[in-house]
């Protein structure tokens, strides 16, 4: 959801400018937006994929804190990936 909101905000900001940011006529506006757009982190990784399954971090699950298949944290015996550090992932 956050990613969608940030992407929408960036799209609206670019639409308000009216011209591409690399245009020499719009250099002042482009340089003013650049730090704002860079701070949005629009490429935030939201899905961790391994073995054909998306994994999500859960603080509380059937095997304790760790990575589980998304939605499987309380389905005992299914979906356990591993603790923090599984596949080099941090929570």
56 and 84 together in one domain: yes
Which of 54, 63, 69 has its CA nearest to residue 83? 63
Residues 56 and 29 in one domain: no
Q: Are residues 32 and 54 in the same domain?
A: no
**2's tokens:** 């956050």
DSSP one-letter code for 30: H
Same structural domain, 34 and 58 = no
Domain that holds residue 11: 2-38
pLDDT at 14: 55
| 56 shares its domain with 33 | no
Total structural domains within the chain: 2
Q: Is residue 43 part of a domain?
A: no
- pLDDT tens digits for range 36-50: 655 655 544 557 899
List, for the chain, all residue ranges whose pLDDT scores fall below the cut of 70.
Answer: 1-46
Q: Is residue 75 part of a domain?
A: yes
Question: ∠ at Cα 23 (22, 25), nearest 5°?
Answer: 140
Taking the model in full, what pTM does it have?
0.49
């Amino acid at each position: 959801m956050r990613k969608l909101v940030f992407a929408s905000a960036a799209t609206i900001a670019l639409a308000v400018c009216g011209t591409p940011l690399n245009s020499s006529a719009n250099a002042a506006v482009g340089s003013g937006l650049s730090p704002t757009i860079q701070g949005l982190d629009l490429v935030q990784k939201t899905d961790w994929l391994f073995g054909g399954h998306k994994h999500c971090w859960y603080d509380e699950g059937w095997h304790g804190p760790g990575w589980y298949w998304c939605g499987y944290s309380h389905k005992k015996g299914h979906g356990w990936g591993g603790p923090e550090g599984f596949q080099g992932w941090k929570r």
